[in-house]
């Protein structure tokens, strides 16, 4: 099993920062070179949306990796990736408000109510707000680890909304939306399968307990 030193952990986090900021650097570079396609606003919106989803999936993939391999070195990256996902979601949303609709509140309001893909997109973003707000170590302590953990399971709902957002906005002929949706099913499915497996084991152990003299510690 890989155990990282303090230095290793820092290097890993620096790596995440670099990867997560690279798309912004790319957008900046392309903007500088006047290379944001014929429809720059649409290109920026889509790029930010793509990276929101990728970072969200990356943060959700760390636990399945631990479940399947037992490796735990990646777990400290979860919060960082989650916060980057939130940052990209916020930028994606801001571009929609400012560049795309230029504060046309009535049209945006109508779209949120009438267009299912926008409705679930708004739900995805909103569900990330309490998670971002409680992301500090202080908040974990204040809420208590159990409550905090329970609250942060809201991100499963975010992932489902994000998948629907993409499935419903993608036009006929596109296929990448199915890939993203399949990864959501995978990262949530592994968790569900693991939870079921543990529940079965617990029940079996509960049934066996009177017969066995020593209680085995389950982790």
Partner 1 sequence: MLIRRAPRFRSSEITPERLYLDRRAFMAGAGALLLGAGTTEAQSATPPAQPLKAARNDPFSVKEPPTKFESATTYNNFYEFGVNKEDPARLAGTLKPRPWTVKVDGLVAKPKTFDVDELLRAFPLEERVYSLRCVEAWSMIIPWIGFPLGALLKRVEPTGQAKYVAFTTLMDPEQFPAQKKGFFNLGGLDWPYTEGLRLDEAMHPLTLLTVGMYGQVLPNQNGAPIRVVIPWKYGFKSAKSIVRISLTADQPKTAWNTAASSEYGFYSNVNPEVSHPRWSQATERRIGEFRRRNTLMFNGYGDQVASLYAGMDLKKFY
How near is the Cβ of 117 to partner 1 at its closest, in Å? 6
Q: How far apart are CA 53 and CA 128, in angstroms?
A: 12
Instruction: Retrieve residue 45's tokens.
Output: 């919106």
How near is the Cβ of 161 to partner 1 at its closest, in Å? 16
How near is the Cβ of 168 to partner 1 at its closest, in Å? 7
- Print burial letters for 98-126: b (CB count within 10 Å at least 16), e (below 16): eeeeeeeeeebeebeeeeeebbbbbbbbe
How near is the Cβ of 50 to partner 1 at its closest, in Å? 13
- Range in contact with partner 1 (rule: CB under 8 A) among 10-18, 94-102, 158-166, 186-194: 94-102
How near is the Cβ of 109 to partner 1 at its closest, in Å? 11
Residue 89 vs residues 8, 19, 131, 150: alpha-carbon distances, Å? 29, 16, 13, 22
- Count of residues interacting with partner 1 (CB under 8 A): 25
Among 101, 143, 156, 167, contact with partner 1 (rule: CB under 8 A): 101
Whichever of 42 and 63 has its CB closer to partner 1, that residue is 42
Instruction: Retrieve residue 166's tokens.
Output: 């993409």
Q: How far apart are CA 144 and CA 138, in angstroms?
A: 10
Among 17, 29, 102, 157, contact with partner 1 (rule: CB under 8 A): 102
119: contact with partner 1 by CB under 8 A: no
* Closest to 155 (Cα-Cα) out of 83, 48, 207, 50: 83
Which residues in 40-69 contact partner 1 (CB under 8 A)?
Answer: 41-42
């Amino acid at each position: 099993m890989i155990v990282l030193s303090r230095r290793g952990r820092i290097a890993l986090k620096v790596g995440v920062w670099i990867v997560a900021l690279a798309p912004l650097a790319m957008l900046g570079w392309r903007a500088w070179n006047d290379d944001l396609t014929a429809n720059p606003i649409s290109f920026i919106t889509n790029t930010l949306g793509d990276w929101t989803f990728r970072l969200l999936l990356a943060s959700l993939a760390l636990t399945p990796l631990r479940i399947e391999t037992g490796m735990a070195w990646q777990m400290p990256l979860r919060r960082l990736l989650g916060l980057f996902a939130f940052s990209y979601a916020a930028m994606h949303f801001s571009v929609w408000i400012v560049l795309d609709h230029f504060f046309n509140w009535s049209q945006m309001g109508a779209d949120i109510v009438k267009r299912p893909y926008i409705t679930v997109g708004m739900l995805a973003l909103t569900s990330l707000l309490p998670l971002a707000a409680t992301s500090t170590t202080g908040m974990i302590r204040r809420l208590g680890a159990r409550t905090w953990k329970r609250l942060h399971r809201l991100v499963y709902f975010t992932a489902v909304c994000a998948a629907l957002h993409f499935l419903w906005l993608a036009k006929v002929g596109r296929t990448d939306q199915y890939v993203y949706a399949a990864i959501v099913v995978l990262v949530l499915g592994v968790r569900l399968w693991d939870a079921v497996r543990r529940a079965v084991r617990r029940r079996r152990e509960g049934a066996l307990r009177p017969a066995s003299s020593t209680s085995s510690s389950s982790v």
